[in-house]
Structure 1
Amino acid sequence: MKPVFATLLIVSLVLTSSPLIKTTTAPADTGYPCDTKCQDRCAAAGVKKRCLDDCGICCQICKCVPSGTYGNKSECPCYQYMRNSKGTSKCP
């Protein structure tokens, strides 16, 4: 029983560390500089990672990010009206 368990353990470790398994996906190229715009938008954020994640999602969908670090959402209506599951603004 022990050799079978050891063999299964080794096989599972080899398969999970295989370079053939793709673990990350590259974001789709939107033609709009979302990374740069979101870095600027989230520069003063308290929780920067969450801000960058949400901004990136909004940017890919809306293809725009308002200027500045806060407000100015009227520059990008799609960005302004996106809501999360709690009903509050999704986009920072």
Structure 2
Amino acid sequence: MASSQQALVFSSLLVLLLAFYLAESRTVVIDSQMEMIGGNDEKSVMTNNPTIDCGGACKVRCSRSSRPNLCKRACGSCCAKCQCVPPGTYGNHAMCPCYAALTTRGGKLKCP
């Protein structure tokens, strides 16, 4: 009987840990989605941090780039204009529409 009680306590603990993990990860996603205000215009800004640390954000964004200096320079100019940088090292442009809308003179995406 003691073994079945221990198994029940252990499984209950695992379920609670899983629930906590899922709740915490959902909070992070919701917080990152709630930071953006505005639409698809170039004046969208982050509500929680109107003056973003572009250097730090671009360092993270360009950490896996094959040409990190070029990446940081392009990211920095995009961040200065849009005041946001998408999370992660690639993609996620929907999190910062202004950043995704900037193009070069040749029509290519400017921001990494």
Smaller-chain TM-score bracket? 0.5 to 0.7
Aligned to 1:49, what secondary structure does the other structure show?
Answer: helix
Match of residue 45, structure 1, among 65, 71, 76: 65
Alignment of 1:64-83 (within 5 A): 64-83=84-103
The answer on 1:84 being equivalent to 2:104 is: yes
Identical aligned pairs, as a percentage? Answer: 41
Shift of 1:32: 1.2
**TM-score scaled by structure 2?**
0.55
Deviation at 1:31, TM superposition (A): 2.2
Structure with higher helix content = 2
Tell me, which stretches of 5 or more residues in structure 1 are unaligned?
Answer: 1-29
Provide the aligned length of Structure 1 versus Structure 2: 63
TM-score normalised by L of structure 1? 0.66
Root-mean-square deviation (Å): 1.0
Q: In the aligned structure 1, how far is the partner of 2:108 from the partner of 2:92?
A: 17
Query: Following superposition of structure 1 onto structure 2, how do residues 2-81 of structure 1 map, counting pairs within 5 Å?
Result: 31-81=51-101
Runs of 5+ consecutive residues of structure 2 not aligned to the other structure: 1-49
